[in-house]
Structure 1
């Protein structure tokens, strides 16, 4: 039900089907902006008057990100993800609505989507670079803003966003690991991330390939191993989460030079993360032995 016309000052719900119809080549290449008037008319206003639906803080974040990371667009993910999550305080049910993210990408900050995801044109390329439509209207693992919010939601350890920053610093983890269904289990996510960080700290060669292979192996093993039994989690404190969401009206803007605080709804048990880290390290060592054997056979051949 539409109570009033949507505006760029407040978040609203834009039907993905409508958004998709306005994603022509001109918009995807950045040569023309999305048709704002038509999109606003099609959007449904969110009746909740809470300040958490204000778009000004989000605009400030995206503008700051483009300034800070002008020379390294991918690095903006690690900075923006925890701050977007702490600014846009949502339940998981609310964050699962693609129409919300479509509005954010098409109406509030289409310039950021283009800045972050527009490919650079090669010198010999005859095709005009264009952003993939999924960056505007895709699923939670690819949509420009949803992917960051959900990365923060899945990787935070209660109020601590440090794991989020680490996760988003590794694009292979962000683009591969977080697509696995097993990552809904917090100790599993934090354990995989710990293994990836150890590999990076050790200067592992071809880190991206190793991360992808590790994630594939852990996903396959997860079909027979019960990670929830090996490293049990505790239920999050929903009351604390809802209180944190309600505090949006009085919360100050998120800090730019230090990590914000997330909802204090409980941390993953350390013993569970440790147990799963040990398991995943063993899996990674097994993969390493297989790689070494393959290289040996190749050299002998």
Structure 2
């Protein structure tokens, strides 16, 4: 909180990998909402209010945070959203992709809801498409995130991502070993990224295959077209309802 006093949203990219590397658990354990409710209501409610506070409505009122930041779904709860973002967007032990994902609020608010993000090559391909746009200095990147997310779900209803972009099964033993090592592991570093579980990296060929598909689909997207302009030159501020799941 002291580190990001001037830019609260910047805390997400910093905290997500460190939270994941501190709370070492399986996905099954992390799927328990009671854990995250306890974190938000009992362990660090001050952080939740600081990070997600709404402006006071009068001089007599105090800042508050939306209830779903305390007891909401995994993509809403203040801590669950960061842990799951780290889990979905990491590349094995490497958290650098998590930093990039969490530096964009639209990725956290939109992409994290997608069922297709459970397929890690899809998650990393989404980030690579966004990196390519950032390299080209595409304006209003958030609009593209909000358009690309439903496009990925739509394409995924007709294409089997796990066939087009195969992923090695995660090494469950490596995850369990990493969890066990947490008993004696030092505190996560504050100035450098920690190491995640060595459960296998995503095949570059799988990510590249999906990047080509996503960029082609997005190039032809109706979401961002305006007066016949190419998709990357427009921005319609598209909002996305929960896609289900």
TM-score with structure 1 length normalisation? 0.73
Unaligned runs of at least 5 residues, structure 2? 231-245
Residue 160 of structure 1 aligns with which residue? 94
Once residues 200 and 75 of structure 2 are traced to their aligned partners in structure 1, the CA distance between those partners, rounded to angstroms, is: 24
- Are 1:232 and 2:166 an aligned pair? yes
- The CA deviation at 1:293 is 4.2
Residues 197-216 of structure 1 show CA distances to partners (whole Å, capped at 9, x for unaligned) of 22122221221111101111
Residue 100 of structure 1 aligns with which residue? 35
User: Which one has the largest radius of gyration?
Assistant: 1
RMSD: 2.0
Residue 178 of structure 2 aligns with which residue? 244
Residue 143 of structure 1 aligns with which residue? 77
Counterpart of 1:120 (choices 55, 60, 69) is 55
Residues 118-138 of structure 1 show CA distances to partners (whole Å, capped at 9, x for unaligned) of 02347x999865311110011
- The CA deviation at 1:290 is 6.4
Once residues 202 and 126 of structure 1 are traced to their aligned partners in structure 2, the CA distance between those partners, rounded to angstroms, is: 47
- Are 1:214 and 2:148 an aligned pair? yes
TM-score with structure 2 length normalisation? 0.89
- The CA deviation at 1:287 is 2.2
Task: Give SS of 2:2's match.
Answer: helix
Counterpart of 1:278 (choices 192, 212, 232) is 212
Partners of 2:90 and 2:96 within 8 A in 1: yes
Partners of 2:126 and 2:211 within 8 A in 1: yes
Residues 139 and 284 (structure 1), Cα distance of their counterparts in 2 relative to 1, 3 Å cut: same
- The CA deviation at 1:240 is 0.6
Q: Higher mean Cα deviation, 196-205 or 217-226?
A: 196-205
Once residues 94 and 179 of structure 1 are traced to their aligned partners in structure 2, the CA distance between those partners, rounded to angstroms, is: 19
Larger helix proportion of the pair: 1
Task: Give SS of 1:73's match.
Answer: coil
Once residues 112 and 267 of structure 1 are traced to their aligned partners in structure 2, the CA distance between those partners, rounded to angstroms, is: 32
Counterpart of 1:257 (choices 191, 194, 206) is 191
Residues 244-267 of structure 1 show CA distances to partners (whole Å, capped at 9, x for unaligned) of 000011101100111000000001
- Are 1:186 and 2:132 an aligned pair? no
Map 1:40-119; keep pairs closer than 5 Å: 66-119=1-54
Residues 85-117 of structure 1 show CA distances to partners (whole Å, capped at 9, x for unaligned) of 000001111101111111111111000000000
Partners of 2:144 and 2:224 within 8 A in 1: no
Residue 134 of structure 1 aligns with which residue? 68
Once residues 181 and 212 of structure 2 are traced to their aligned partners in structure 1, the CA distance between those partners, rounded to angstroms, is: 38
Q: Number of paired residues?
A: 230
Residue 7 of structure 1 aligns with which residue? none
